[in-house]
Structure 1
Amino acid sequence: MRASLATGANFWNGGDLYGTRERNSLHLLKEYFTKYPEDAKKVVLSIKSGFSPETMRMDCSPDNLRRSVDECLRILDGKKTLDIFQCARVDPNIPIEESVKALGELVKEGKIKGVGLSETKAETIRRAHKVHPIAAVEVELSLWATDILRNGIAATCAELGIPIVAYSPLARGALTGLIRSSADIPEGDVRKHLPKLQEDVIATNMKITHEVEKLAEKKGVTKPQLAIGWVRTLSGRNGMPIIIPIPGATTEERVLENGKEVDLADEEMDEIEKILKENEIQGARHSGPVAALSEY
């Protein structure tokens, strides 16, 4: 985490869904800011929650959002503020206006500083933004997941001046070289169930990774650096909104690799666009109930 901040990566993303109720990313954040209190003001902390602790299903009702925020604050124990709070998914049972209004009240009370959205449609972003300014929209974006460039999400965020937080910019490991076939995914790993990584399509999808590897070698950078560089270069380009990639990493070495800024020239971006057009990704981003929640 300290290495991340040293590279200038100060937008940190967490949530009580990353781990158990007894031990999740919020506990880790509390420990970090207890050890390095001087870093608290350097970091923009975005937290996802909004689950019911009993059912682990989305519950973005005003009462549960208040409970959720209070629980996050309890765990952080004053060591760090909640700069952005967002529901991990849109609750199909609660109008987005009602959820955002409730979070707006928590902004007024000083419990959170901003309201974010995660995995939602362009129309929902507009509805939410009318109720309270949206600080950021978190969505998947990578060379393996370019949906937001076509479904109106990027265009809507650009129009409204809302930054996009791009999660999984390394396609859940498929753009790193660690995953080349479905056999490379450990048993019990959630990626085992992702449609894009299934045995019948992964070889086709890996064609993009192979082409990226060639470009990276030519440029003298690694595949992850080029993949993240593509996301960064999209930011503010040709009417695009500001885009903040948030690659995950578990070692200092990977953090430092991901943190190296790589800018791509127009010709390189054009070459990548050509590769994407010639190698259409097969398979959906999610499966099961999670896939359905991304439709709201």
Structure 2
Amino acid sequence: MATLVGRSVGPTGFGLMGLTARSPQTPYEEAFKTMRAALAAGANLWNGGEFYGPPQSNSLHLLNDYFTKYPEDADKVVLSIKGGFVPGSFIPSGDKAGIKRSVENCLKILDGKKKIDIFECGRVDPNVPIEETVGHLAEFVKAGKIGGIGLSETAAATIRRAASVHPIVAVEVEYSIFATDIRHNEVASTCAELGIPIVAYSPLSRGLLTGKKTSPDDLTEAEKNWPRFQGENFLKNLELVKAINKVAEKKGCTPAQVAIGWVKAQSGSAGFPTIIPIPGATTVSRVEENMKDVPVTSAEFNEINKIITTIPVQGGRYPKSLEHLCFG
């Protein structure tokens, strides 16, 4: 078990984005079943966002309704919420006014049904020093309105600067077989040195590693805008998926379980802090698949690393318009 903001959390968390950010949205009653299944399976770190869905129906609204129906679950969940964007955009707003608006809006929507245990700006505002942004968030911690401060998509140097102002309880970054940047850009080693857990989002690479996306026909219109799903990139990336599928077949499990197991195998290893993957899911069956503990052996880990080296990933993690906000 890992510890965040003084609370024990399971080795695998739960990403809420897909429940409200996709169109059409998952009906709330169906979402509740999935959320309860995640909690029952030990995924008590929940990760949502103010911008996950439309202003009138995002993660916070879903959570308000969930904890209204299941108030007994509020103390069981460690809730991490991302905000800090100009409303209706992906423009970071890390100044005092932007932080105040975002945190207070999230608190207003939750309406006291659940405390925000961790608040993090979805991206670093390139126009505001991180020390200033963290300082504003620290005031909310001091006032008891949020439990702690997290960072998202943050460079190693930024983590150090932020931590010099206030303790950072977690750093959320994309980490998967398809996204290994933190191995090489000092984010993992910096977090290990400072004792900051990493929360790994998209451990299944936006569904690529589920084995369910085998042709362009399996992609949503939104997914077709992402570089790794486009044209030749997608076809070449399927070769990497097929190689992981073979590992899963030999192991007698699903490719998703291999992918999540690969991430968890590095938690606490040399140069890595605690790593908590937060796969998303919209159905109970998918939650159960993701939450089944399938350890990756050292031999399998080395085999997967060799695959990553010999079949390079094609295409960036984000569209060009958003790339500049990665590892800010």
1:55 shift after superposition: 5.4
Paired residues, number: 294
**Aligned-pair identity (%):** 57
Q: Which amino acid aligns with 1:176?
A: T
Local SS of the residue matching 2:171: strand
Runs of at least 5 residues in structure 2 that lack an aligned partner in the other structure: 1-34
1:36 shift after superposition: 1.1
TM-score normalised by the chain length of structure 1:
0.96
1:116-165 Cα offsets, whole Å, 9 max, x none, are 10011111111111111111111101111111111111111111111111
Local SS of the residue matching 2:120: strand
Match of 1:8 in 2: 42
1:57 shift after superposition: 2.1
Match of 2:107 in 1: 73
Local SS of the residue matching 1:186: coil
After superposition, the CA RMSD in angstroms is 1.2
Candidates 296, 299, 311, aligned match of 1:267: 299
Matched, 1:253 2:275: no
Candidates 273, 276, 279, aligned match of 1:241: 273
Match of 2:18 in 1: none
Match of 1:219 in 2: 251
Matched, 1:51 2:85: yes
> Distance between the aligned counterparts of 1:56 and 1:211, measured in 2?
35
> Distance between the aligned counterparts of 2:157 and 2:218, measured in 1?
38
1:27-106 correspondence runs (5 A)? 27-53=61-87, 57-106=91-140
> Distance between the aligned counterparts of 1:101 and 1:126, measured in 2?
14
Match of 1:278 in 2: 310
Local SS of the residue matching 1:238: coil
> Distance between the aligned counterparts of 1:3 and 1:135, measured in 2?
26
1:108-257 correspondence runs (5 A)? 108-187=142-221, 189=222, 191-257=223-289
> Distance between the aligned counterparts of 1:264 and 1:69, measured in 2?
39
1:149-202 Cα offsets, whole Å, 9 max, x none, are 111111111111111111110011111122123332122x1x211111111112
8 A Cα contact 2:188 2:271, kept in partner: no
TM-score normalised by the chain length of structure 2:
0.87
Match of 2:13 in 1: none
> Distance between the aligned counterparts of 1:54 and 1:247, measured in 2?
25
Match of 2:6 in 1: none
Runs of 4+ off more than 4 Å: none
Match of 2:23 in 1: none
1:93 shift after superposition: 0.9
Q: Which amino acid aligns with 2:181?
A: D
Candidates 10, 17, 39, aligned match of 2:51: 17
Q: CA distance change for structure 1 residues 209 and 89 in 2, over 3 Å: closer, same or farther? A: same
> Distance between the aligned counterparts of 1:290 and 1:83, measured in 2?
27
> Distance between the aligned counterparts of 1:63 and 1:17, measured in 2?
17
> Distance between the aligned counterparts of 1:203 and 1:22, measured in 2?
37
1:50 shift after superposition: 0.6
1:278 shift after superposition: 0.9
Q: Which amino acid aligns with 2:277?
A: P
1:238 shift after superposition: 2.3
Moved more, 23-32 or 53-62: 53-62
8 A Cα contact 1:181 1:197, kept in partner: no
> Distance between the aligned counterparts of 1:141 and 1:54, measured in 2?
26
1:284 shift after superposition: 0.9
1:29 shift after superposition: 0.5
8 A Cα contact 1:181 1:199, kept in partner: no
Runs of at least 5 residues in structure 1 that lack an aligned partner in the other structure: none
1:262-293 Cα offsets, whole Å, 9 max, x none, are 11111111111111111111111112331111
8 A Cα contact 2:49 2:58, kept in partner: yes
> Distance between the aligned counterparts of 2:227 and 2:283, measured in 1?
27
> Distance between the aligned counterparts of 1:28 and 1:19, measured in 2?
10
8 A Cα contact 1:4 1:10, kept in partner: yes
